[in-house]
Chains A and B, each alone.
Chain A
Amino acid sequence: MDKELKFTWSDILKYGAIAGVVAIYVILVGMVEAFNERYIISETVNLGQIALFAPVFLLGYFAANTARQIKSAGFAILASALVGLVGGAFVAALLFLGTHVNLREVFLNVSPELLGILHLGQEAMMGAIVVNLIVGAVVGFFGGLFALAPHKWSNALLVGLSIVLLMGVMQELMSITFGNKDWYKPIGKFIYAQKGLSWGGAILFLVLGVGYSLWRSSGKFRPAARVAKMPTKQRLSISLAAWALGLLILLALPRFLGSYPSEILTTVGIYIIMGLGLNIVVGFAGLLDLGYVAFFAIGAYTVGILTSTGKLATVGWSFWMALPVAVFLAMLAGVILGIPVLKMRGDYLAIVTLGFGEIIRVVVLSDWLKPFIGGAQGILQIPKPQIGEFVFKKPEQMYYIVLAGILLVGYVAWRLRDARVGRAWKALREDEDVAEAMGIHLVSTKLMAFATGAAFAGLAGAIFAAKLGSIFPHSFNLIVSINVLSLIIVGGIGSLPGVVVGALILVGLPELLREFADFRMLFYGALLVAMMLVKPEGFVPEKTHARELSEKEPLAPGIEPETPARETI
């Protein structure tokens, strides 16, 4: 880094101003008010307050982190507190302005309720301003403290707080689950209050998180290393047992969770199937496909048309007969749409596939094809899958179809990854010209990637149609493609476990937080940008891809890469 390190008083102002602007953004965009009712800790801390003060905390952290490299620790702490003070001043200024000028004409969210929240419990304007300043400074101070604490401790605290946050957010869901069975009702009573965690629960999770993190970093927790040392036979049986246990848990999950969480898991599962498919196209072969939703739609519409018993009923097949047709048609579409774009690379490919997706959407919505696929009214009365007398009616039962789909698709993707064609895809991703020179047949390799990805999406679409029982063109817009793209990027491009992690984070969490729905795409957008800036390889990176993206020379085995400076949390 050629930038000269310095940290002066004007930097404090700069950091503070950034914190203030971000906090005002969070307020104006409506998050503070929307999240205000979501309590993390009963009656004390809610998500709105966290959203409001997170920028101050973060900027305080960054300020202290930069300052301590040049100045003393005391100065760093002071700086972060001052940064918080400035940030608080911005919020206070907005409060003052909002009370005296009618901002609501332009900024929809500056409602009296919001201003009430910004008062932070103080009646008088003066008191509210002072409290805002003080709280800002205190939060900034803690941000600074966090930056100065030893890595081990700050890390542990972060893990603990994240767990508390997660458990708090999941309160509604977990309360239902805990209410399900008699024997774990008392646990639920202890952990959760009416809204959010009880104090006991919060402290319990914090201690658990911190303890776990400290234990891990102490170096005694190395199950993988211990297993690796065992003789082959024992190792195999252990991994087999682990797989069996995992499968058993997955199979038993709906029984414990109940209906609503199973519903969420099915949605997540459908996205996992799609993610695994797009992961082949984007992650393995490096072909950025923004029209991926088209194949999902083809799968769903095929099942819809073939099985529907409603107005648009045709042959009235069962789900199981329609399923292979749906997958096959999606695959065919993948090849057909793949042929024109064979010669295209990078960003042009992305735009053309986006164009395909939009063309299909517009055509489906039009009156032209309405007699066949229902136009904007969609297709209704799609029967549920059925085996013999057993009907997959409830979400707990659909879960198993999705699970089977994931296992199948995951197995295929996993086997393909290291097979000949998988290696060809990766070669393609790294450098098309070199790959061709090495004897890889570009046309068939690319078409194979498009076809496989499309087939997976077709499967996901088929299950989606059966799950909902009715489909509408509005379920198949560009946003779905972007969602799937986001989840594989967050998880790690090209990484199979990454898809699962990404889907759980990006699809599962928003389902838990209903207030979040309005900000979902906002977060996805921000997340895409942030991931590309900070962690382009994703949270569960694939090895070769991480190396490629970090743009360093490949390291010889045995040489550890330099540990990067602690810049981000």
Chain B
Amino acid sequence: MLQKFMRKHDTTDIVMWLIGLGILVAVLYGSYVTLFVTQKYEPGVWLDFTIFGLAQGSVYALIALGYTLVYGILFMINFAHGEVFTGGVFTAYFVAIAMEKSGFIERHWVLALLILMAVAMTVSVLVAVVLERIAYRPLRGAPRLVPLITAIGASFFLQYTYRGIYGSGVKTYPDFPALDGKLNLLGREWPILTVQALVIVVAALMMVFLYWYVQKTKAGKAMRAVAEDKEAAALMGIDVDRVIVNTFALGGAMAGVAGILYALLFKQVNAFMGFIPGIKAFTAAVLGGIGNVPGAMLGGLFLGIVESLGPSLILDGLGIPSPYQLKDAIAFTLLVLVLIFRPTGILGERLSEKKA
């Protein structure tokens, strides 16, 4: 029996399973210790962690949409998408500061927020479209590593461009006084911060809009057609170049909104801020099955929650000191594990089967 088993699976498979099993045991053991042995945290804390996870997860989800849309059409990882995100929110910072100085944020905070989003979206769309035009379009049909290397180059170029133009310091977004404290709605206080509620709602609206756009509009239909088969789409009279630009612009717009939501949650911006969220969002996109729009949303939320719960739930139980420093390591480990064990993601699509 063992022989039959060995013939079917080679040694590397078994090693991989063992690694996977080990990690699973570590996760379960860590959670068990935290929840039932040490009981360091009060039950209410977990709810707070989950809500925070949902909020940051919805930001990841919005960024992940950009990766997934582009991958669905061009089968390339737009490594510079994190910098598309940075461009919008970093530029909008200057508008935000101006609005704070003039007291506009205090008087009309909704309008101020909308203006900020409009600015961030515009800049992000611009960066995404210019990137596509200059760096990616000439390389269509090149060997697959070529666009990836280009994207890596573009990513660094943009990071250091922001740094050169706007400066290298960390800048703090102005406060929105209306969003301070817990959410007060329908005459009672809810166990969620107003900011987090707003972030989740806005992100949900954007995702609904995107889903509607891709599924119901003509432009969305063209997009899906190009994703399915470029040549056939071109024969049907679809301007493929234009659809690709549209896709980049759509991803950029989502990244722009995500940027403002990120700034609301974390307050701080700098030239390199997009890199880590970018990789995390890519993780989210892969988690959900890259190329799959609802998958990216789910993946983002999932990643957000895991990242928020993981350090205290798992690592603390394992006895690792100051587990929050390893927050990013959890996200990256998740990325590596997903890519190794299930590159098609949760809602895996057949296209990743042949491309992964």
Give A contacts to B, CB under 8 Å.
25, 28-31, 105-109, 286, 288, 290, 339-348, 350-352, 354-356, 358-359, 362-363, 365-368, 443, 482, 485-486, 489, 518-519, 521-522, 524-529, 532-533, 536, 548-549, 551
Contact = CB atoms under 8 A, between A and B. Distances in A.
A359 B166 contact: no
Interface string B87-98: 000000010010
Contacts of B10: 443
A179 B142 CA distance: 51
Interface size class of B (residues with CB under 8 A): 35 or more
Interface in B131-180: 134-135, 138-139, 142-150, 152-161, 164-167
B76 interface: yes
11 contacts: A107-B166, A109-B165, A351-B286, A359-B336, A362-B329, A367-B325, A522-B160, A522-B164, A525-B156, A529-B134, A529-B150
Given A108-B165, A108-B167, A359 B333 contact: yes
B153 A339 contact: no
B164 A347 contact: no
Nearest to A345: B356
Contact of A288 (B145, B155, B282, B343): B145
Nearest to B20: A340
Interface of B: 10, 12, 15-16, 19, 76-77, 94, 97, 134-135, 138-139, 142-150, 152-161, 164-167, 279, 282, 286, 320-322, 325-326, 328-329, 332-333, 335-336, 339-340, 343, 356
Contacts of A518: 164
A368 B319 CA distance: 9
A367 B321 contact: yes
A532 B153 contact: yes
Contacts of A527: 153
Contact of A528 (B156, B158, B161, B320): B156
A526 B149 CA distance: 11
| Secondary structure of the A contact surface, majority rule | helix
A358 B279 contact: yes
Given A359-B332, A528-B150, A346 B340 contact: no
**Max count, chain B CB within 10 A of own CB: residue among A28, A343, A351:** A351
A347 B157 contact: no
Contact of A347 (B144, B161, B335): B144
| Secondary structure of the B contact surface, majority rule | helix
**Max count, chain B CB within 10 A of own CB: residue among A288, A347, A352:** A347
Contacts of A529: 134-135, 150, 153-154, 157
Nearest to A376: B325
Contacts of B135: 529, 533
A524 B156 contact: yes
A366 B340 contact: no
A346 B145 contact: yes
B332 A350 contact: no
B150 A340 contact: no
A526 B139 CA distance: 15
A521 B271 CA distance: 13
Given A339-B16, A346-B144, A348-B356, 16 more contacts: A28-B164, A30-B164, A106-B94, A107-B166, A347-B145, A347-B148, A356-B336, A358-B328, A366-B322, A522-B156, A522-B161, A528-B154, A528-B157, A529-B135, A536-B142, A536-B146
Nearest to B95: A106
Nearest to B333: A359
B83 to A, nearest CB: 10
A341 B343 CA distance: 11
Contacts of A521: 156, 159-160
Nearest to B94: A106
A106 B343 CA distance: 43
Contacts of B279: 351, 354-355, 358
Contacts of A344: 339-340, 343, 356
Given A28-B164, A29-B164, A347 B76 contact: yes
A342 B11 CA distance: 12
Contacts of B143: 548-549, 551
Nearest to B335: A355
B165 A339 contact: no
B164 A519 contact: yes
Contact of B153 (A106, A340, A528): A528
A255 to B, nearest CB: 38
A107 B134 CA distance: 24
A518 B161 CA distance: 10
Given A106-B94, A340-B19, A348-B339, A528 B321 contact: no
A361 to B, nearest CB: 9
Contacts of B326: 362-363, 366, 368
B339 A351 contact: yes
Nearest to B141: A551
